[in-house]
Amino acid sequence: MANLKGKDILHANQFSKKDIEAIIKVASNFERELKKKDSLTLLKGKILATLFYEPSTRTRLSFETAMQRLGGGVISMGSVESSSVAKGETLTDTVRTVSQYADVIVIRHPRTGSAREAADAVPIPIINAGDGTGQHPTQALLDIYTIKKELGSLKNLTISMVGDLKNGRTVHALAELLSLFDTRLYFVSPSSLRMPEEIINHLKQKGIEIEETEDMLKAGNTSNLIYMTRIQKERFTDLSEYEKLKGSYIINEEFLKKLKKKITILHPLPRVDEISTDVDDYPGAAYFRQMRNGVFVRMALLSMIFGKR
């Protein structure tokens, strides 16, 4: 069993294949338990704090749901404008403060490396819910859980990651996790939004087969799954560049008709225009199921951090 007790969750690379298999198992047990009961008492008396310096819907609310379903309590800093961050308080001082109230902190911040800074400042576990263009490890774990559930296995898969591979922290984290399962990867993006070289080199060192292309149809035709991403507008310094690139890749009915076979489609959400709503009823469109899985996986992580599973 993976030993996450008292640990921070900062980067996808901290997990072994065994850890991931253990997390999947615990998450699927919670999924089953929640069919019988609305909530459990495993983390009664524990408090989770959410500190979000960037917008979020799913990540924050699914962490809060997970904690409450486990019987724990939740406090939240609310918006940056309504907290002392607006008065100029540093991240370290805010985290030190919150660590006096809560037993675990979930943090999202625009600066890459911020979660690690927070973890270095306090003794309680820190969970990285997105540090700039860096990492988003809990999203990657729920993505892996979803892939296993949708496709039945993590063995022998070919997966296309499409969109903003340069700035997308979800794909940075997911590619690292998939490399533990010998997945073949297609990286499909405009040339200016390619997967960072550092990540590609690391994956290649691990012996992973990678192909970079701008052709989504070609990649899709030989893949089991497309992982679609949003062009990350907030990371562009030149908005005219964003305007040029938005709409580079769109999955719609027409695209699905051109595909030779049925495919599974994931997206961390929110989507802008990269998946048309006419795709939502397609049987392989799994992005709404994917976001529900976030609750089970985050329940697993929280219970394991507190040594209760």
Q: Under the criterion CB under 6 A, does residue 269 sit at the interface with ligand NCD? A: yes
- Site map (CB under 6 A) of ligand NCD, residues 154-173, x = contact: ---------------xx---
Residue 88 CB, nearest distance to ligand NCD (Å)?
Answer: 25
**Ordered strands of the 225-228 beta sheet:** 210-213, 184-188, 158-162, 225-228, 264-266
Residue 299 CB, nearest distance to ligand NCD (Å)?
Answer: 17
Residues 263 and 244 sit within 8 Å (Cβ to Cβ) = no
78-82, long-range: CB < 8 A, 24+ apart: 80/53
What is the spatial distance between Cα 91 and Cα 53, in angstroms, rounded to a whole number? Answer: 10
Give the footprint of ligand NCD on residues 105-144 (CB under 6 A).
130, 136, 139
Residues 77 and 52 sit within 8 Å (Cβ to Cβ) = yes
Give the footprint of ligand NCD on residues 188-247 (CB under 6 A).
230
Residue 270 CB, nearest distance to ligand NCD (Å)?
Answer: 6
Residues 110 and 132 sit within 8 Å (Cβ to Cβ) = yes
CA nearest to 19, candidates 152, 176, 167, 171:
176
99 vs 170, beta carbon nearer ligand NCD: 170
In eight-state DSSP terms, residue 189 is: -
Residue 41 CB, nearest distance to ligand NCD (Å)?
Answer: 28
Residue 274 CB, nearest distance to ligand NCD (Å)?
Answer: 10
106 vs 208, beta carbon nearer ligand NCD: 106
Give the footprint of ligand NCD on residues 18-77 (CB under 6 A).
58-59
Contact residues toward ligand NCD (CB under 6 A) are 58-59, 130, 136, 139, 169-170, 230, 268-269
